[in-house]
Structure 1
Amino acid sequence: MGPLVRFFRSYPLVAATIAVGVVGAVLELGGQPLLARWVLTVFAVAVALRQARAMVADLRAGTYGVDVLAVTAIGATVAVGEHWAALVVCLMLAGGEALEDYAAGRAQRELSALLERAPVIAHLVVDGSVADVPVARVHAGDELLVKPGEIVPVDGVLTSAGAYLDESSLTGESLPVEHGRGDSLLSGSVNGREVVRMRATAAAADSQYQRIIELVRQAQGSKAPFVRLADRVAVPFTLVSLGVAATAWAVSGDPVRFAEVLVVATPCPLIIAAPVAFMAGMSRAALGGIIVKNGGTLEQLSRVRTAAFDKTGTLTYGRPEVAAVLPGPGLEPDELLGLAAAVEQYSTHPLAAAVVHAAREQGLPLRHATEVEETTAHGVRATVAGRRVVVGKEGFVAAEVVDPPTAAAAPENGSGPGPAPRPGSAARPGPAARPGSAPESALAPGHTAVHVGVDGRHAGTIWLADRVRAETPATLAALHRAGVGTTVMLTGDAEATARGIGAAIGIDDVRAGLLPEHKVEAVRGLRDRPVMMVGDGVNDAPVLAVADVGVAMGARGSTAASESADVVIMLDDLARTVRAVQIGRRTMRVAWQAIGLGVALSVGLMVVAAVGLLPAIVGAWTQEAVDLACILWALLASRPGAAERAEEAFLAAGDHAAPGVREPALTTP
Structure 2
Amino acid sequence: MNSLHRARRYPILAASGAIALAVLVLDLSGQDLISRAIATAWVLVVITRAVMDMARQIARGHLGLDVLAVIAMGATLAVGEYVASLIIVLMLSGGEALEDAAERRATRELTALLNRSPQAAHVLVAPDGVGDEVRDVAVDRVAVGDVLLVRPAEVVPVDATVVSDRATVDESSLTGESLPVTRRRGETLLSGSVNGPGAVRVRAVRTAADSQYQQIIALVTDAQGRQAPVVRLADRFAVPFTAVSLLIAGLAGWLSGDWVRFAEVLVLATPCPLLIAAPVAFLGGQSRAARHGVIVKGGAVIEKLAKVRAVALDKTGTLTRGRPELVAVQPAAPLDREELLVLAASAEQYSSHVLADGVREAAQASGLALRAATEADEVATCGVRAVIDGRNVVVGKRAYVEREVGAAVAAAQLVAGQVAAYVAVDGAFAGVLVLADEARPESAAVVRWLRANGVAEVAMLTGDADATARAIAGQVGIDTVHADLLPADKVRLAAALKPRPVLMVGDGVNDAPALAAADVGVAMGARGATAAGEAADAVVLADDLGKVVDAVVIGRQTLRVALAAIWLGIVLSVGLMLVAATGAIPAVVGALTQEVVDLAAILYALRALGGRLPELRRAEPARAVASRRPAPAARLR
TM superposition score category, shorter chain reference: 0.7 to 0.9
Aligned-pair distance for 1:348? 4.7
Decide whether aligned partners of structure 1 residues 324 and 232 sit closer, same or farther in structure 2, where only a CA change above 3 A counts. same
CA distance in 1, matches of 2:534, 2:9: 36
> CA deviation digits over 1:168-221, x for unaligned, max 9?
111111111211111122111111111111122222222221111111111111
Deviations 1:296-327 (A, max 9, x none): 111111111110011111111123347899xx
Aligned amino acid, residue 525 of structure 2: G
How far apart, in 2, do the equivalents of 1:145 and 1:541 lie? Answer: 35
Given candidates 453, 459, 463, the residue that maps to 1:482 is: 453
**Deviating more after overlay: 205-214 vs 87-96:** 205-214
- Residue 354 of structure 1 deviates from its aligned partner by 6.3
Which residue does the alignment assign to 1:556? 527
Counterpart residue number, 1:655: 618
TM-score under structure 1 normalisation? 0.79
How is 1:323-402 mapped onto 2 (pairs within 5 angstroms)?
348=345
Change (3 A) 1:35 1:490: same
Q: 1:306 to 1:629 in 2, by over 3 A?
A: same
Residues 347 and 516 of structure 1, relative CA distance in 2, 3 Å threshold = closer
Structure 2 distance, partners of 1:41, 1:600, is 31
Identify the residue that residue 250 of structure 2 maps to in structure 1.
246
Report the counterpart of residue 296 of structure 1 in structure 2: 300
Give the counterpart letter for 2:187 in structure 1. D
Offset from partner CA, 1:108-133 (integer Å, 9 cap, x none): 11111111111112111113201222
Cross-structure match for 2:80: 81
The 3-state SS of whatever aligns with 1:534 is strand
Match of 1:382 in 2: none
Q: Distance in 1 between matches of 2:584 and 2:508?
A: 65
Residue in 2 aligned with 1:13? 12
What SS does structure 2 have at the residue aligned with 1:317?
coil
> Aligned-pair distance for 1:638?
0.9
Q: Which one is further off, 52-61 or 306-315?
A: 52-61
Provide the rounded CA distance (Å) in 2 between the counterparts of 1:663 and 1:256: 81
Distance in 1, matches of 2:236 and 2:369, equals 74
- From 631, 646, 654, the equivalent of 2:602 is 631
| Alpha-carbon contact 2:281-2:607 (below 8 Å) kept | yes
> Residues of 2 paired with 1:549 and 1:141: CA distance?
37
Q: Distance in 2 between matches of 1:463 and 1:134?
A: 45
Aligned pair in 2 of structure 1 residues 573, 655: CA closer, same or farther (>3 Å)? Answer: closer
2:60 is matched with 61
Opposite residue 263 of structure 1, the aligned amino acid is V
Deviates more, 1:19-28 or 1:604-613: 19-28
Per the alignment, in what secondary structure is the counterpart of residue 321 of structure 2?
Answer: strand
Quick one: distance in 2 between partners of 1:53 and 1:70?
A: 14
Q: How far apart are the structure 2 equivalents of 1:252 and 1:144?
A: 79
1:175 equivalent to 2:138? Answer no
1:198-237 superposed matches below 5 A: 198-237=202-241
Change (3 A) 1:234 1:353: closer
AA in 1 matched with 2:248: V
Question: Partner letter of residue 523 of structure 1?
Answer: A
Task: Report what 2:110 is aligned to.
Answer: 111
Unaligned runs of 5+ in 2: 127-131, 330-336, 349-354, 374-382, 384-409, 422-431, 631-637
2:607 maps to a residue whose letter is L
Structure 1 residue 595 and structure 2 residue 566: aligned?
A: yes
Provide the C-alpha distance between the structure 2 equivalents of 1:34 and 1:103, rounded to a whole number of angstroms. Answer: 38
Question: Structure 2: which amino acid aligns with 1:591?
Answer: A
CA contact (8 A) 1:238 1:267 kept: no
User: Could you tell me how far 1:551 is from its partner in structure 2?
Assistant: 0.7
Partner residue of 1:575 out of 541, 546, 558 = 546
The residue that corresponds to 1:420 in the other structure is: none
Deviation at 1:16, TM superposition (A): 1.2
Aligned to 1:257: 261
CA contact (8 A) 2:416 2:625 kept: no
| Counterpart among 432, 441, 445 of residue 470 in structure 1 | 441
Q: Which has the larger radius of gyration?
A: 1
CA distance in 1, matches of 2:48, 2:433: 82
Aligned-pair distance for 1:464? Answer: 4.6
Matched residues, number: 568
- Asked if the contact 2:212–2:528 (Cα under 8 Å) also holds between the matched residues in 1, the reply is no
Asked if the contact 1:493–1:513 (Cα under 8 Å) also holds between the matched residues in 2, the reply is yes
Calculate the TM-score normalised by the size of structure 2. 0.83
Q: Which runs of 5+ in 1 are unaligned?
A: 326-339, 359-365, 378-438, 451-460
Q: 1:656 to 1:239 in 2, by over 3 A?
A: farther
Could you tell me which residue of structure 1 aligns to residue 590 of structure 2? 619
The alignment partner of 2:201 has SS state of strand
Deviations 1:485-519 (A, max 9, x none): 11010112333332232222111311122111111
C-alpha distance in structure 1 between counterparts of 2:123 and 2:361, whole Å: 35
SS in 1 for 2:186: coil
- Mapped to 2, the partners of 1:465 and 1:665 lie a distance apart of 5
**Equivalents in 2 of 1:198, 1:662: separation in Å?**
32
| 8 Å Cα contact 1:265/1:606 also seen in 2 | yes
Q: Judging changes above 3 Å, is the alpha-carbon distance between structure 1 residues 596 and 372 closer, same or farther for their aligned structure 2 residues?
A: closer
Residue identity opposite 1:219 in structure 2: A
Q: Is the 8 A contact 2:439 2:475 kept in 1?
A: no
SS of equivalent residue, structure 1 residue 70? helix
Structure 2 counterpart SS, 1:488: strand
Change over 3 Å in CA distance of 1:440–1:494 after alignment to 2? closer
Structure 2 SS opposite 1:319: coil
Aligned to 2:514: 543
1:510 aligns with 2:481: yes
Alpha-carbon distance in 2 for matches of 1:537, 1:449: 19
From 460, 463, 466, the equivalent of 1:492 is 463
The answer (yes or no) to whether the contact 2:228–2:299 under 8 Å persists in 1 is yes
Q: 1:404 maps to what in 2? A: none
| Residues 281 and 261 of structure 1: CA distance in aligned 2, closer, same or farther (over 3 Å) | same
CA RMSD of superposed structures (Å): 3.3
- Bigger shift: residues 623-632 or 441-450: 441-450
Between 132-141 and 517-526, the greater mean CA deviation after superposition:
132-141
Q: CA deviation at 1:442?
A: 5.4
Change (3 A) 1:109 1:47: same
Which residue is equivalent to 2:406?
Answer: none
The CA distance in 2 between the partners of 1:449 and 1:33, in whole Å, is 90
Does the 8 A contact of 1:344 with 1:353 survive in 2? no
Distance in 2, matches of 1:62 and 1:49, equals 20
SS of residue in 2 equivalent to 1:483: coil
Q: Quick check: 1:345–1:353 contact (8 Å CA) kept in 2?
A: no
Amino acid at match of 2:548: T
Query: 2:438–2:626: 8 Å Cα contact kept in structure 1?
Result: no
- Equivalent residue number for residue 305 of structure 1: 309
Q: Which of 457, 464, 472 matches 1:501?
A: 472
Q: CA deviation at 1:463?
A: 7.2
The residue type paired with residue 68 of structure 1 is V
TM-fit CA distance, 1:232: 1.1
2:283 pairs with 1:279: yes
